Structure 1
Amino acid sequence: MDAGEHGTAPDRPLSLAPERFSRTGRPAYAVIDIGSNSVRLVVYDEIGRAPFPRFNEKALCQLGDGLARTGALTPDGAARTLAALRRFHAIADAMAVSRIDVLATEAVRRASNGPDLVAQITAQTGLPVRVLSGDEEAFFGALGIVSGFYRPTGLSGDMGGGSLEIADVRDDRVGSQRISLPLGALPVRRLLESGLDSAKARIDALLRDGVPPELSGGTFYAVGGGWRAFARVHLAARRAPVQVVHGHAVPAAELRDFAKSILKLSPAKIATLPGLPRRRAVTLPAAALVLDRTLKWLRPERVVFSMLGVREGWLYSQLSEAERYLDPLVEGAQSFGLPFARVPAFAPALTQWTAGLFPNETRAEQRLRVAACALSDYAWRDEAGLRAAESFRRLLQFPLIGLDHAERVFLAAAIHARYGGSADDPVLSPAIGLLRPELVRRAQLLGRALLLGYRLAGGVPEILAAAAVHIDDKRVRLIVRPAARVPESEVVADRLKLLANAAGVRRIEVIEAEPGDRRDGGS
């Protein structure tokens, strides 16, 4: 199941492909995940590199409740699970889903009557069930991290209802070190019934005996519903400017302190915590305790929370090698942005138009610029006066993957500027504080260049290809060849002035150049 030898992945392609992104003719795909505590159906818009969940529903079936005492699934838990599967199958059929994969994890694989439940599911729904081993669950959970972040390196930890899986992640692949421990929400809740100190000692013993020394340090990617709920509480407590779980990064020491503060609260107080989903109140202490002890043992420098886990890792494993190497942010941005653009083919033209704006641009910076181009026309149907502010708010919350919170703010700020938003717009605060001043300026510059491109070419790629913009420390030059046909325009001049202001220069020039003229910069 290893993804291959550890190594450095090649750079991912960053080109835009409008022909691949249409709102019609894309068959939906579904995964049903049978866990120890819940059963969930997620319907994705397609099997792709950055699929968007079209439908997401969870049923708390508590399938693993009592498993430790009896070694078997309870009749009530099995009945609830079968009912959930029948409902989910009907929903998927009604949505014309092209394929449904059913995965089962800790409770089903450990239970003496797990095979009986699997047989009943297939008999009642016609759906085969893939029961994952502990190693496979760790592998696919870690593969979810590979699919959801930009070149992640560190450890993945997936705490579910019945177990905790830990694996090492090396850029584009999952390493050979993978473990599964009985430290899910349900068994840890039972440990806590004997007292916090007793539960802590038992968890420490399991970690000490089960975690090899190679699994330590670096970044810890936290996966699973309990830890996502914990992240929401932390985001609310910090009043974080970006209230998105995916990509929420916190120093490990800070997170351990927060976990310990949760463990001191009464159940009644926990139930009132801002940001906490109501159903997660009873399992939050277990999630906090396992996170605290796991971080103590693994000693990572920071924790990054992930919305992607086993389901997305499984989906990612179904892709071709070429599809896996596509950039998750760029794929998500064009999947969201291009079908809603007036002229989808204009976005690739913008990537060329903006390519020379930033000398010595890194690959990480390039992917943000390309993503901004893909999103640059998604809000054109909004009322003109609302586009800038609403775009900023949406992109701070939109389920894009492959970026951290600061990169999310950068992307939102660039699109805000593209729609004419000013640098002192109150809507930017407090999120804009996540960016260094030079990155704020960079986002403004990129957004103003996109605004100029749309105004100059009217969404026509051929017109934009016949023009180029150059910025130095004294001026902004717009170089226009005859095919552009619009060298004299007051509106274009106004957009040039906005670009010059973002660049910190005052002088603007519009130059008409013939093909081959050295002044056109070879663009």
Structure 2
Amino acid sequence: MVLVERSEAQGRLKIGRPVAIIDIGSNSVRLVAYEGLSRAPTPIYNEKVLCGLGRHVATTGRLDDDAVERALRALSRFRVLCETMDVAEVYVLATAAARDATNGPDFLAAAEQACGCRIQLLSGAKEALFSAYGVVSGFYKPDGLVGDMGGGSLELVDVQGALVGEGVTMPLGGLALQDLSGGSVKKAQKIIRASLERAAGHLEQLHGRTFYAVGGTWRALARLHQAVTDYPLHIMHNYIINPEDGLDFLHLVEEADAKTLKDIESISEARRPLLAYGAMLLEEIIRLGEPKEIAISALGVREGLLYDQLDPETRRLDPLLTAASDLNLLRSRSPRHGEELWEWTSRFIDSVGLPETENEQHLRHAGCLLADIGWRAHPDYRGEQSLNLIAYGAFVGLDHPGRAYLALSIFFRHEGLSPDKVGSRIKALAGSRLMERARLLAAMMRVAYPVSVAMEGVLPQTPLTAQGRSVVLRLPRHMADLANERLVGRVRALAKLLNLEPVIEVS
């Protein structure tokens, strides 16, 4: 697999082979291979084995022999998989279980032989840093407290944009809590409260900000919360839970038999016993920190390590626009046209004097880059295929309402502007303001494409502006014959959204 160049607006992808990370955690050993080292890395293979290395480490001080054997078998398999994928670089990380166990050094020596790579044993501070970097790499201007709950430990660290504070690590992983409490939820609660006293300074800074929940147990809780609330989009990254509403759900998880929870079959049996500990820990963080929202992160230590490998210029790139540029480059008829569409729509928005927030502008930019990615589909299904590709795509730096906006924009671009053509659930996810913004962007696209035919260099010659009470599309004289009934109808539909009159001028 070879990487291709990205459009100039977002820099260039390096030509090279995949990179992979093997994460030896307290609960699971996981391999994730990525298409390459970039600001928006795309996973091409993901496999985990629940080994439970951290089980009983808190009380015995040792890694279980059976868990070690399972981990070594997994690492041997992962070595072969990396060779098969022709991976250029394999990064291997080990965290709390190997760090805390007395037989950890012996295990790491055997593990290096099994995977054929040097293993980096992360300190608690380094683990917290990489967790924070994972959130920085995956959220648009994050502001809050990152909490990474693994099997053996919990790391807390403050983030503001790309700035990362000093982290703290505590033995509050799911397996560690289960071990130290002897399986008693009440004892676990006392352990949690005593340990969190060490993090009082971090939790005080959380008030009114976002808590970014990292780790498999919290993602599993979020999956169950989506099932309970009948949430329409089964994507974990940037799934938002209101703390007040979430508390009732967390109480339910703590007190109920896991087997009775809705959609519990989607959670592995090995993880189900840990759900109550994850719920209790999150409840205490909500109680002490009083965050405005809980944001689930699908990115953590692994993606944080990749972010750490990037040069400063690449780090500064926007993750959503980088991913959209990659798709634009790979799927569009003329990638440069996407950037020209962004500039063309910006001039029109400015001429209308339409208020646009920074986030709305950011989303519109991404929408212009994604506008033509569905052109290879059958004409009858371009809208539907584009909607599915965007709504369920592996994007980061994007919340769920923004994801719905982008999907709807490209859907309406192909299918027409009637809101009745799309289901109510995705419209509700976008909200009324973004829904109307999606229709407006689609209306502009529906004018642009019959003029430009998705080719670069045309839109700069055919400006679209609002003048007085009119929407005016200007065509140069050699393009005058483009002004047929179809194009007139498209300009009229756009003008109608803004209560203006349509005009096509030839100059």
Band the TM-score falls in, shorter-chain normalisation: over 0.9
SS in 1 for 2:463: strand
CA distance change for structure 1 residues 372 and 210 in 2, over 3 Å: closer, same or farther?
A: closer
How far residue 492 of structure 1 moved from its aligned partner, in angstroms, is 2.0
Tell whether 2:343 aligns with 1:316.
no
Which residue number in structure 1 is paired with residue 424 of structure 2?
429
Which residue number in structure 1 is paired with residue 394 of structure 2?
399
CA distance change for structure 1 residues 119 and 41 in 2, over 3 Å: closer, same or farther?
A: same
Q: What stretches of structure 1 move > 6 A for 4+ residues in a row?
A: none
CA distance change for structure 1 residues 402 and 65 in 2, over 3 Å: closer, same or farther?
A: same
After superposition, what is the alpha-carbon deviation per residue over 1:275-316, rounded to whole angstroms, capped at 9, x for unaligned? Answer: 545553222112111111222222212111111111111111
Which of the numbers 322, 326, 344 marks the counterpart of 1:331?
A: 322
Which residue number in structure 2 is paired with residue 247 of structure 1?
238
Which of the numbers 164, 184, 188 marks the counterpart of 2:177?
A: 188
Code of the aligned partner of 1:253: E
SS in 2 for 1:157: strand
d(CA) in 2 for partners of 1:455 and 1:185? 57
SS in 2 for 1:136: helix
Whether the aligned pair in 2 keeps the contact of 1:353 and 1:465 (CA below 8 Å) is: yes
After superposition, what is the alpha-carbon deviation per residue over 1:172-228, rounded to whole angstroms, capped at 9, x for unaligned? Answer: 12112x111111110222355453222211211111234435543121000001001
SS in 1 for 2:144: strand
Whether the aligned pair in 2 keeps the contact of 1:237 and 1:274 (CA below 8 Å) is: no
After superposition, what is the alpha-carbon deviation per residue over 1:56-84, rounded to whole angstroms, capped at 9, x for unaligned? Answer: 11111111122122212122211211111
After superposition, what is the alpha-carbon deviation per residue over 1:131-161, rounded to whole angstroms, capped at 9, x for unaligned? Answer: 1000111111011111111111110000011
Code of the aligned partner of 2:93: L
d(CA) in 2 for partners of 1:104 and 1:332? 29
d(CA) in 2 for partners of 1:473 and 1:438? 24
d(CA) in 1 for partners of 2:41 and 2:497? 35
Which residue number in structure 1 is paired with residue 198 of structure 2?
209
Code of the aligned partner of 1:372: G
d(CA) in 1 for partners of 2:373 and 2:93? 35
Tell whether 2:445 aligns with 1:456.
no
SS in 2 for 1:246: coil
Whether the aligned pair in 1 keeps the contact of 2:55 and 2:179 (CA below 8 Å) is: no
d(CA) in 2 for partners of 1:16 and 1:443? 26
Which of the numbers 74, 80, 90 marks the counterpart of 2:70?
A: 80
CA distance change for structure 1 residues 373 and 345 in 2, over 3 Å: closer, same or farther?
A: same
Which residue number in structure 2 is paired with residue 387 of structure 1?
382
Which residue number in structure 1 is paired with residue 286 of structure 2?
295
CA distance change for structure 1 residues 386 and 154 in 2, over 3 Å: closer, same or farther?
A: same
CA distance change for structure 1 residues 261 and 464 in 2, over 3 Å: closer, same or farther?
A: same
Whether the aligned pair in 1 keeps the contact of 2:185 and 2:276 (CA below 8 Å) is: no
SS in 2 for 1:36: coil
Code of the aligned partner of 1:59: V
Tell whether 2:31 aligns with 1:41.
yes
d(CA) in 2 for partners of 1:94 and 1:105? 26
After superposition, what is the alpha-carbon deviation per residue over 1:36-60, rounded to whole angstroms, capped at 9, x for unaligned? Answer: 0101111111111111111111111
d(CA) in 2 for partners of 1:442 and 1:237? 30
How far residue 436 of structure 1 moved from its aligned partner, in angstroms, is 4.2
Moved more, 207-216 or 38-47: 207-216
How far residue 498 of structure 1 moved from its aligned partner, in angstroms, is 2.9
Which of the numbers 97, 106, 127 marks the counterpart of 2:117?
A: 127
TM-score, normalising length from structure 2? 0.92
d(CA) in 2 for partners of 1:490 and 1:277? 58
Which of the numbers 469, 476, 479 marks the counterpart of 2:471?
A: 476
TM-score, normalising length from structure 1? 0.90
SS in 2 for 1:398: coil
Which residue number in structure 2 is paired with residue 509 of structure 1?
503
Which residue number in structure 2 is paired with residue 148 of structure 1?
138
Between structures 1 and 2, the one with greater helix share: 2
Moved more, 484-493 or 278-287: 484-493
CA distance change for structure 1 residues 180 and 211 in 2, over 3 Å: closer, same or farther?
A: farther
Code of the aligned partner of 1:154: G
Code of the aligned partner of 2:111: I
CA distance change for structure 1 residues 420 and 181 in 2, over 3 Å: closer, same or farther?
A: same
Whether the aligned pair in 1 keeps the contact of 2:53 and 2:64 (CA below 8 Å) is: yes
How far residue 19 of structure 1 moved from its aligned partner, in angstroms, is 7.7
d(CA) in 1 for partners of 2:433 and 2:211? 29
After superposition, residues 336-347 of structure 1 pair within 5 angstroms as 336-347=327-338
Any gaps of 5 or more consecutive residues in structure 1? 1-14, 514-523
After superposition, what is the alpha-carbon deviation per residue over 1:431-481, rounded to whole angstroms, capped at 9, x for unaligned? Answer: 212344333222111112123212111122122221011135733211112
SS in 2 for 1:382: coil
Which of the numbers 52, 56, 66 marks the counterpart of 2:46?
A: 56
How far residue 396 of structure 1 moved from its aligned partner, in angstroms, is 1.9
How far residue 20 of structure 1 moved from its aligned partner, in angstroms, is 3.0
Whether the aligned pair in 2 keeps the contact of 1:21 and 1:339 (CA below 8 Å) is: no
